[in-house]
Amino acid sequence: MTGLKTRTLLLFAGVALLALTWSFARAQPKPFTIGTASDFSTSIYYDPPLQDKLKATVIAAEAEQKTDGLFLLKKLKLDAFRETGERELTVEAPECLFDSSAQTASSAGAVRVQSGDGRLLLEGVGFLWQQKTEHLTISNKISTVITGFRPTKKEP
C-alpha cells in the first residue's frame, strides 16, 4: 500500500508541476515587432461606465516602435475630449515619445497647445502629457495668447 501511495503522490506532483510550468509559459510577455509605420493613430476611452466615450486621440504622420508600447512619433497631434464629446485641447509637436502603456507623451522639443474653443494658445519647449491624471506640463520658453478675454469690472 505504501508503494501505491508514493506512486500516486509522485504522479500528482508531476501533473501539478507540468500544469504550473504550462501556466508560466503562457504568462510570458508576447514578443513585439519593432518597425516604422506612417499615419499612426490610436484612441483612448474613458473608464467604465463611460467606456464608449472618447477621451483622447493620438495621431502622427510617422511612428517608430522603440520597445513594447513605446513609440517615437513625428508630427504629433493629440486631441483630448470632455465626457460630453467637446474637444478640450489640441497638442501638436514635431516629435515626441508616446508610451501607450503609461498613456503619456513627452518631448524636449517644441510644443503648441490650443484650447478646444480656440481662445487659449500656449507654445513652449519641452512637455509631458499624462492622460491618466489629465495633466499637461510645458517646461520652457512658454508663450501664451488669450483671445476674447474681457476682464469684468469690480463693483465698489
15 and 69, same domain (yes or no):
no
43 and 15, same domain (yes or no):
no
Range of the domain at 9: 1-30
- Per-residue pLDDT averaged across 34-55, rounded? 88
Please state the three-class secondary structure of 8-40 as a single string: HHHHHHHHHHHHHHHHHHHHCCCCCCCCEEEEE
Distances in Å between the Cα of 63 and the Cα atoms of 39, 69, 99 are: 8, 11, 12
pTM exceeds 0.85 for this model: no
Q: For residue 1, is pLDDT > 50?
A: no
| The pLDDT value given to residue 26 | 36
Work out how many domains the chain is built from and give that number: 2
42 and 88, same domain (yes or no):
yes
Q: How far apart are CA 114 and CA 138, in angstroms?
A: 13
Strand pairing class (135-146; 36-45): unpaired
| The pLDDT value given to residue 82 | 94
56 and 20, same domain (yes or no):
no
The enclosing domain of 127 has a CATH number of 2.60.450
**Cα torsion 118, 120, 122, 128: sign:** negative
